[in-house]
């Protein structure tokens, strides 16, 4: 065991504060990573506030982790000490079920071991990236291409793969019109991938002040979703919508934007059930779908795609001492477009 500095919530909704955790000594297939940067995902807020149901405390959030390998186990083949490495939302799964063997480990039938707010195979609580080091099986560790800016690469491990994977799955590309709902961490990555894949991209936002950024980030057009006339003008214009909104919102208004046979995929996970009028789907053979992150192999594919296309997240780097303020700012939609913690601030105390 190695004593490791971290920031934790000790109960639902408590302010995050300095906390010490133990990391296991690397086993034969483990990689120990000295964490450099960790992105701040809205899922960290949902879970630290127990908005998705029962949560495990103390909780050390953080699943957008980039760092440098400091130790490896005797059987590790894919990493050497000194390599860059990344960890996303998963640190283990059963490796045997149909989902795992298909490379869709995030849907493991026996249950994924999430990076935090979970228990590992031995029953120990998992702790995330708001900490100075982490120990992870090499099979769930990603290679970070050295060409990528490291702070900007951290959010790729969740916001990146969560938007890349559904755009690939639903074959968004040249000739398709993509709508993105919400311009936050996930939304801004969806704009970058939508443009890189060759789609015509329309950003829907509740924040008028984000319009110029949306165009810079990859949107061809921006629509203020609070303006009924602007929404009506877009009716039946989109082939695919990626819904990244973190709070309850009007699903029927969004479905009305889809053409016949269009699909809206939810990646945002508001903490309350949302209502859908059946006619929103029935009247134009529309589909409403969902998607969770992406498998390990697809996450590596996404990282390599980002290196080849010069894509990283637009980040605001913060010391960990500002994490509670960062949460409040995200809840006010005031993030451009991902907070990333400089973990050196934690080592400095
Ligand atoms: P974020 O950075 O806080 O962005 C969310 C954006 O949603 C806001 O910036 C805002 O954009 C919009 N929004 C917020 N409240 C709204 C409301 N009431 N009505 C309409 N729009 C609203 O959050 P994030 O990190 O991108 O995460 C977004 C959601 O995805 C969260 O629920 C998170 O838990 C979930 N998530 C899911 C997965 C998955 O695997 N499916 C992975 C990661 C995250 P505008 O200012 O542009 O309106
Ligand atoms: Zn996340
Ligand atoms: Zn499995």
The pLDDT tens digits of the residues spanning 222-247 come to 999 999 999 999 999 999 999 999 99
Cα 107 to ligand 3 centroid, rounded to whole Å = 7
Query: How far apart, in whole angstroms, are the C-alpha atoms of residue 30 and residue 134?
Result: 10
Torsion sign across C-alpha atoms 322, 327, 333, 338: positive
Residues with CB under 5 A from ligand 2 (ion): 41, 43, 158
Cα 260 to ligand 2 centroid, rounded to whole Å = 31
Can you give the pLDDT at residue 348? Answer: 81
Cβ burial 157-195 (10 Å sphere, 16+ → b, else e): bbbbbbbbbbbbebebeeebbbbbbbbbbbbbbbbbbbb
Any ligand 1 atom below 6 A from CB of 113: no
Cα 296 to ligand 3 centroid, rounded to whole Å = 12
Chain segment 105-152, per-residue pLDDT in tens: 999 999 999 999 999 999 999 999 999 999 999 999 999 999 999 999
**Average per-residue pLDDT for the chain:** 98
Band of pLDDT at residue 349, cut at 50, 70 and 90? low
Can you give the pLDDT at residue 347? Answer: 82
Any ligand 1 atom below 6 A from CB of 292: yes
Chain segment 36-74, per-residue pLDDT in tens: 999 999 999 999 999 999 999 999 999 999 999 999 999
The pairing of strands 90-92 and 113-114 is antiparallel
**pTM score over 0.95:** yes
Any ligand 1 atom below 6 A from CB of 324: no
Pocket-testing residue among 89, 182, 247, 329, ligand 1, by greatest number of atoms within 8 A of Cβ: 182
């Amino acid at each position: 065991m190695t004593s490791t500095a971290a920031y934790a919530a000790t109960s639902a909704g408590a302010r995050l504060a300095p906390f010490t955790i133990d990391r296991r000594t690397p086993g034969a297939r483990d990689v120990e990573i000295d964490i450099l940067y960790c992105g701040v995902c809205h899922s960290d807020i949902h879970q630290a506030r127990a908005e998705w149901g029962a949560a495990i405390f103390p909780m050390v959030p953080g699943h957008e982790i980039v760092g440098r390998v400091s130790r490896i186990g005797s059987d590790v083949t894919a990493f050497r000490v000194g390599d860059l490495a990344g960890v996303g939302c998963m640190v283990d799964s059963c490796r045997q079920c149909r989902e795992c063997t298909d490379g869709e480990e995030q849907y493991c039938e026996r249950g994924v071991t999430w990076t935090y707010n979970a228990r590992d195979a031995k029953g120990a609580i998992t702790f995330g990236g708001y900490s100075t080091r982490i120990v992870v099986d090499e099979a769930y560790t990603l290679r970070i291409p050295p060409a990528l800016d490291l702070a900007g690469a951290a959010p790729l491990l969740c916001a990146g793969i969560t938007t890349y994977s559904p755009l690939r799955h639903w074959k968004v590309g040249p000739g398709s019109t993509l709508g993105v709902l919400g311009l936050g961490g996930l939304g801004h990555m969806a704009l970058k991938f939508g443009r890189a894949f060759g789609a015509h991209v329309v950003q829907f936002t509740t924040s008028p002040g984000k319009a110029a950024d949306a165009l810079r980030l990859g949107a061809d057009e921006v629509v203020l979703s609070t303006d009924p006339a602007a929404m009506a003008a877009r009716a039946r214009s989109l082939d695919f919508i990626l819904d990244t909104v973190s709070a309850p919102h009007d699903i029927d208004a969004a479905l009305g934007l889809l053409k016949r046979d269009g699909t809206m995929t939810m990646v945002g996970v508001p903490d309350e059930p949302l209502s859908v009028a059946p006619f929103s789907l029935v009247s134009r053979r529309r589909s409403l779908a969902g998607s969770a992150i992406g498998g390990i192999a697809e996450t590596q594919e996404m990282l390599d795609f980002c290196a080849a296309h010069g894509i990283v997240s637009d980040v605001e780097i913060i010391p960990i001492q500002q994490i509670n303020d960062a949460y409040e700012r995200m809840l006010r939609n005031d993030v451009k477009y991902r907070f990333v913690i400089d973990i050196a601030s934690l080592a400095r105390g």
